[in-house]
Amino acid sequence: MPLHVLGINHHSAPLEVREKLAFPPETQADVLTSLASRPGVAEAVLVSTCNRTEVYCRAADVATVRDWLTEQASRSGLDIDSHLYLHSETEAVRHA
C-alpha cells in the first residue's frame, strides 16, 4: 500500500480554517480509530498543531482518507477542498 500525506497547513489554509480542523489531544485516539476502521486503511498517524493538521497513512485508496478528513472538517462547518494538499508515494520511490 502506498504512503499518503493529506492535510492543511499555514501555507494552504488561513488561521480560521486551521483552528477549526485542529484535533485536541483528548480526541486524537478516537478520530484515529474512526479512520483506521475504514476499509483499505492499514495504518495512520495524525499530526495536529497550531500550524497544521496532517494525516500520514497507508491506504489502498487515498479517496477513502480524503473523504474521512473532509467529513471531519464538515463537522466544524468547513469545506476544506480548496485548502487540502495530498502527497502520495509512488511505486518507483518505494522500490528504489
User: pTM of the predicted model, to two decimals?
Assistant: 0.86
Per residue of the chain (96 residues), give pLDDT as tens.
899 999 999 999 999 999 999 999 999 999 999 999 999 999 999 999 989 999 999 999 999 999 999 999 999 999 999 999 999 986 545 444
Residue 24 CA: distances (Å) to CA of 27, 48, 89: 6, 8, 28
Question: Cα(70)–Cα(55) distance, rounded to whole angstroms?
Answer: 12
Instruction: Please list the active-site residues.
Output: 50
Nearest Cα residue to 13 out of 45, 53, 57? 53
